[in-house]
Each structure stands twice: as C-alpha cells, then as structure tokens.
Amino acid sequence: MIDIFLNGSAHPVPDSTTIDGLIESLGIPRKGIALALNSEVIPQSGWMERLLLPHDKVELLTIAQGG
C-alpha cells in the first residue's frame, strides 16, 4: 500500500493504483466531477493511464452552490 493525499487527507491505496482505480474504489458517480493530480487537471480520458505514486496530491472536485 502507498499513501496519497485525497482532498487534503492521507488516503491509502494499493500499489499500482490508477486514477481510474481510485475513483472505482470510492464508488462515486463519474458525472459532474473533476480531478487534479499535483495541480494538473487530468481529463477522464487519461484516468486509466495515470498511476498514483506515494504522496501524490489528488484534488477531487464536484459542483456546489455558488453565485
């Protein structure tokens, strides 16, 4: 297992986990979300290819109320 940071909190994932694998493990719908890895926005089309490394910072956002 390795530790990444998911939305600011330590989050363990198995070695060789892709972004897609992370989203799968969270069991969340794939519509209306966006993800950045170490401050780089990764489109969904690239989620299968990107492997997570120790201490990677993942920001997973969705829409919220806003003016």
Partner 1 sequence: MEASLEPIKLGSLTLTSRLILGTGGAPSNQIIKEIVVASQTQLVTVALRRYEPRAANSLYDILRNLKVDILPNTAGCFGAKEAILTAKMGREALETNNVKLEVLANDKDLLPDPYELLDATEALALDGFNVFAYTGDDPVVARRLEFAGAQVVMPLGAPIGTGLGIRNAHNIEMIVSQASVPIVLDAGIGTASDAAVAMELGCDAVLVASAITRARDPQTMARAIALATEAGFLSRHGGRIPKREWAVASSPTEGMADFT
Residue numbers at the binding site for partner 1 (CB under 8 A):
7-8, 26, 28-29, 31-36, 39, 41, 43-44, 59-67
**Residue 35 beta carbon to partner 1: minimum distance, rounded to whole angstroms:** 8
CA distances (Å), origin 22, targets 11, 28, 30, 59: 10, 10, 12, 12
- Residue 16 or residue 63: which is nearer to partner 1 going by CB? 63
Half-sphere exposure of 10 (CA within 13 A, CB side): 5
**Residue 58 beta carbon to partner 1: minimum distance, rounded to whole angstroms:** 10
